[in-house]
């Protein structure tokens, strides 16, 4: 599998995120010969246990993130960040949980936008919005390098590509910048070889920061 960095837009102090920033970021990617390949969407749901007896509270995770990724349409991922655990299941797991009434969705978010191809790279730029709403919560970017699947080996070329993007965005004088937070994947039992679980860890970290304002 290819390698992927997930970045989030950090607005400058005193400024807010708006859809015009998203439009300008897409224009920047196109300005460095990014070829639009179409749309993309990932869906994330924050689940909360439906406890019939409070005495059982300690037996269930208080909350976890469920992830449906476009790159793995037949899979469903559960991120239990406090336990440093990422579980991969069949996509039918969502239906099973609904039927068992063991967990309910507290709130859900879509990350959706456009994807571009730039040689060996693929860049996805999208907005973070609650399902059934256009209330913008954030902007994310996925940087994907297709030839390499090793996190460590790809670090230099990914860093260099990010600098090119930052330099291009800098010419627009936008009120903020993209941030990439390094993750310690070994804490989740993940190896150097990249998988969709690594993607979920990155999104879980970003969305946890947004969750307090997305309820």
Please write the tens of the pLDDT for every residue from 147-190. Answer: 999 999 999 999 999 999 999 999 999 999 999 999 999 999 99
Looking at the DSSP assignment, which residues form a beta bridge with residue 15? none
Contact assessment for residue 64 and residue 79, using Cβ atoms and an 8 Å cutoff: yes
Contact assessment for residue 3 and residue 149, using Cβ atoms and an 8 Å cutoff: yes
pLDDT at 211: 64
pLDDT at 54: 55
pLDDT at 41: 97
- How many Cβ atoms from other residues are within 10 Å of residue 174's Cβ? 18
CA 7 – CA 192 distance, rounded (Å): 19
pLDDT at 99: 85
- For residue 178, the SS3 value is strand
Between helices 151-170 and 19-31, what is the axis angle to 10°?
A: 110
**What's the average model confidence in pLDDT over 48-77?**
79
- How many Cβ atoms from other residues are within 10 Å of residue 10's Cβ? 14
* Percent above pLDDT 90 for the chain: 77
- How many Cβ atoms from other residues are within 10 Å of residue 23's Cβ? 11
CA 145 – CA 159 distance, rounded (Å): 11
Confidence of residue 215 (pLDDT cuts 50, 70, 90): very low
Contact assessment for residue 30 and residue 23, using Cβ atoms and an 8 Å cutoff: no
pLDDT at 179: 94
- How many Cβ atoms from other residues are within 10 Å of residue 177's Cβ? 13
**What's the average model confidence in pLDDT over 48-63?**
66
Contact assessment for residue 3 and residue 185, using Cβ atoms and an 8 Å cutoff: no
């Amino acid at each position: 599998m290819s390698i992927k960095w997930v970045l989030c837009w950090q607005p400058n102090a005193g400024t807010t995120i708006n859809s015009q920033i998203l439009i300008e970021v897409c224009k920047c990617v196109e300005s460095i010969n990014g070829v639009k390949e179409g749309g993309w969407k990932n869906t994330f749901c924050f689940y909360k246990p439906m406890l019939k007896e409070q005495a059982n509270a300690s037996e269930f995770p208080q909350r976890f993130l469920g992830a449906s990724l476009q790159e793995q349409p037949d899979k469903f991922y559960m991120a239990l960040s406090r336990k440093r655990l990422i579980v991969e299941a069949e996509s039918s797991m969502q239906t099973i949980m609904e039927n068992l009434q063991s967990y309910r969705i507290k709130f859900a978010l879509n990350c959706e936008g456009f994807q571009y191809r730039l040689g060996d790279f693929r860049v996805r730029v999208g907005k973070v919005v609650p399902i059934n709403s256009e209330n913008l919560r954030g902007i994310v970017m996925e940087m994907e390098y297709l030839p390499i699947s090793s996190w460590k080996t790809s670090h230099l070329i990914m860093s260099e590509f990010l600098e090119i993007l930052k330099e291009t965005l800098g010419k627009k004088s936008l009120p903020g910048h993209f941030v990439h937070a390094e993750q310690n994947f070994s804490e989740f039992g993940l190896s150097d070889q990249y998988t969709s679980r690594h993607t979920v860890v990155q999104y879980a970290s970003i969305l946890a920061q947004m969750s307090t304002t997305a309820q």
